[in-house]
Amino acid sequence: MRTSFSPTQLADPEIAEANGILETCVHYGFCTNTCPTYVLTRDENDSPRGRIDLIRAMLERGGVPEAKTVHHLDRCLSCLSCMTTCAVKVDYAHLIDRARAHIERHYRRPWADRFVRLALAKLLPHPRRFAAALRVGRAARPLAGLLPRRWQVLTDMIPAASNQRPHLLAPGVCAPEGPRRRRVALLAGCAQQALDGAINAATVRLLTRHGCEVVIAQGAGCCGSLTLHMGREASARAWAVANVQAWTRVQADGGLDAIVVNASGCGTTVKDYGHLLARDPDWAEPARRVAALARDVSEVVADIGLAAPAKPVTYRVAYHDPCSMQHGQRVTREPRDLLRAAGFQVVDVPEGHFCCGSAGTYNLLQPDMAAALGRRKAAHIAGVDPDVVATGNIGCMMQLRRHLAVPLVHTVELLDWATGGPRPPALANVSLRTRAPPVAAGDSPGASGSAGGDIGFW
């Protein structure tokens, strides 16, 4: 795509970066049909190709963006399905982040929007504040009808107390069971701790059982992705620097084999710290080192090799690929392989490349689009008739629980359970159907791993 930035504009490294990305787009349009918002609206401006054009026009003109541009860019999920599809590998992720930062700097949203965004930016990254806000919100729920719709949406999203298991991990070191095979730092995270502490608990058990010394670094916190995707770059960078500092200290004090992330939305951001802090003279190099160490928990366990299952768990698991995992990190095989190795029957979800509508704060800021996507994803999951749904991102879990009747857990909870840990809390009091042991998998690259069925000669 041809652009027309002035030399003065191109002297700005951020514009220069955007220009380089824009020039790679050749408008093939493969991205349109895999973009969830385009598929729902069929509006070119709700497609990556259309948004790239809007971003080009906005950045070329500079200054205050048009409301129409903001509307369509706000509707982008940053699911990055377009990046998987794109034949010429346009770096849309960094382009949309650049656009969001521009909007945040130059566009004055209506006061209610500003207030909601500010509240999310100040609450979600802080687990204690967020847990308190959830309690307040739950108490206020009976009065939700009196609130403006924007606030009703937020109170609607608050999980029932029975579905919320807050548990904050304290900084410290968890010793491995048996000889130490790896020393890893675990990103304890922010909102996830307030929403579902069972995930971190299962992660620590799983890792220590597999010989990992697990360090919860003093000073590490939110990864920064929540604010980054709201255009608040300075805040995101501050979080990133804090984490880089914390993990660099840990690395200096005993070494680190990996930085383990169990929320894939966060993992995508941590793996990209090298880019986020590239222009920070003090932290660019440490950030690159940290990013190079970042791994999804499934990558780490797959690398070590899953211990032999402690109990038969032949349940049918629908594995939902979080967008940040499949499009952001390209980690798709490890979770499936691990679940199969643990004894579960793993089935894929149709339209797997599609976002469930969670997308960080998206389901709070764009509730209608998010709900449509959530219902669509839930219907596909229900269609494969699973006993349980596994995924690797807290955002997807919270979103899908609103639309699904099937129990939903993090992949590590199932792996922990199969290898000797407790039954996941979400499966308490749930009667699971016993299945026949899976046939030998691996011969066929078919999606289910147990292809053939009862049709025909085979």
- Least Å from the CB of residue 308 to another protein: 23
Nearer to another protein by Cβ, of 156 and 351: the residue is 351
Euclidean distance between CA atoms 245 and 241, whole angstroms: 6
The first and second tokens of residue 74, run together, are 């706000």
Euclidean distance between CA atoms 354 and 377, whole angstroms: 8
The verdict on 436 binding another protein (CB under 8 A) reads no
Nearest C-alpha neighbor of 158 from the set 136, 143, 180, 181: 136
The verdict on 447 binding another protein (CB under 8 A) reads yes
- Cα-Cα-Cα-Cα torsion 85, 86, 92, 94, nearest 10 degrees, comes to 90
Q: Which listed residue (67, 88, 175, 308) binds another protein by CB under 8 A?
A: 88
Contacts of 246 (CB under 8 A, 6+ apart): 217, 218, 219, 220
Amino acid at position 328, single letter: G
Nearer to another protein by Cβ, of 303 and 443: the residue is 443
DSSP 397-437: HHHHHTT-SS-EEEHHHHHHHHTT-PPPGGGTT-PPPP-PP
Q: Which listed residue (46, 49, 222, 326) binds another protein by CB under 8 A?
A: 49
The verdict on 262 binding another protein (CB under 8 A) reads no
- Least Å from the CB of residue 449 to another protein: 9
Q: Which listed residue (62, 74, 84, 438) binds another protein by CB under 8 A?
A: 84
Task: Tell me how far CA of residue 454 lies from CA of 347, 450, 451, 457, 458, in angstroms.
Answer: 17, 11, 9, 8, 7
Selected range binding another protein among 47-55, 116-124, 141-149, 417-425, rule: CB under 8 A: 47-55
Residue pair 342/419 in contact by the 8 Å Cβ criterion: yes
CB atoms within 10 A of CB 405: 8
The verdict on 314 binding another protein (CB under 8 A) reads no
The verdict on 45 binding another protein (CB under 8 A) reads yes
Residues 368-387 that bind another protein (CB under 8 A): 380, 383-384
Q: Which listed residue (9, 152, 155, 448) binds another protein by CB under 8 A?
A: 448
Residue pair 281/263 in contact by the 8 Å Cβ criterion: no
User: H/E element holding 214?
Assistant: strand 212-216
Selected range binding another protein among 80-88, 109-117, 190-198, 270-278, rule: CB under 8 A: 80-88
- Least Å from the CB of residue 384 to another protein: 6
Kindly determine how many residues on this chain lie close enough to bind another protein according to the rule CB under 8 A: 47
The verdict on 457 binding another protein (CB under 8 A) reads yes
Selected range binding another protein among 25-33, 141-149, 197-205, 363-371, rule: CB under 8 A: 25-33
Nearer to another protein by Cβ, of 203 and 345: the residue is 345
Nearer to another protein by Cβ, of 309 and 438: the residue is 438
Residue pair 412/297 in contact by the 8 Å Cβ criterion: yes
Nearer to another protein by Cβ, of 7 and 445: the residue is 445
Edge-to-edge order in the sheet of strand 294-296: 172-174, 212-216, 182-186, 258-261, 294-296
Collapsing DSSP to helix, strand or coil, 183 comes out as strand
Nearer to another protein by Cβ, of 24 and 155: the residue is 24
Residues 343-362 that bind another protein (CB under 8 A): 347-348, 350-353
The verdict on 61 binding another protein (CB under 8 A) reads no
Q: Which listed residue (26, 118, 161, 292) binds another protein by CB under 8 A?
A: 26
The verdict on 3 binding another protein (CB under 8 A) reads no
Euclidean distance between CA atoms 346 and 450, whole angstroms: 9
Nearest C-alpha neighbor of 367 from the set 148, 103, 54: 148
- Least Å from the CB of residue 198 to another protein: 29
Q: Which listed residue (48, 50, 125, 328) binds another protein by CB under 8 A?
A: 50
Nearer to another protein by Cβ, of 26 and 118: the residue is 26
The verdict on 218 binding another protein (CB under 8 A) reads no
Nearer to another protein by Cβ, of 233 and 348: the residue is 348
- Least Å from the CB of residue 447 to another protein: 4
> According to DSSP H, which parts of 107-261 are helical?
111-123, 127-140, 149-157, 191-195, 197-209, 225-228, 233-252
Q: Which listed residue (3, 36, 52, 53) binds another protein by CB under 8 A?
A: 53
Angle between helices 127-140 and 111-123 (to 10 degrees): 130
Residue pair 358/393 in contact by the 8 Å Cβ criterion: yes
Euclidean distance between CA atoms 393 and 198, whole angstroms: 13
Residues that bind another protein (CB under 8 A): 2, 24, 26-30, 33-34, 42, 44-45, 49-50, 53, 84-85, 87-89, 347-348, 350-353, 380, 383-384, 439-440, 442-448, 450-458
